Amino acid sequence: MTDPMTGAPQDEREAGPLPLGVDRAPTGDPAVDGLLVRLADADHLAASGHLEVYEDVHRGLRDALTALDRHPGPTAPSGAPASYDNRS
């Protein structure tokens, strides 16, 4: 028997949300890989629950990218000027 609204077989309609089956390749960065695994949580939620998962993953990925911009290096000695203007 099919659903008159969607044309889908009723047993599929009653099964609930189905995983999208999108492959997620590991990046080698444990923090990023953990966030990509978190995306799979959306597969088991109704569409109304996806936003929370996507925002959480987006926030984590943004933080990971921001961390890449923080270059560790030597700090300036205290009391020394941060930079010099060597223009002639």
- Return the domain boundaries, the chain: 21-54
User: Is 42 buried (19+), middle (13-18) or exposed (0-12) by CB count in 10 A?
Assistant: buried
Does the pTM exceed 0.85?
A: no
Tell me the C-alpha distance between 32 and 45, whole Å.
22
**Could you tell me if 24 and 36 are in contact, meaning their C-beta atoms sit under 8 angstroms apart?**
yes
pLDDT tens sequence for the chain (88 residues): 555 556 666 555 566 666 767 778 899 999 999 999 988 888 888 888 899 999 999 999 999 999 888 866 666 666 656 666 667 6
At 44, is the secondary structure helix, strand, or coil? helix
- Structure token digits, residue 35: 């966030």
Q: What torsion do the CA atoms of 11, 23, 48, 8 make, to the nearest 10 degrees?
A: -20
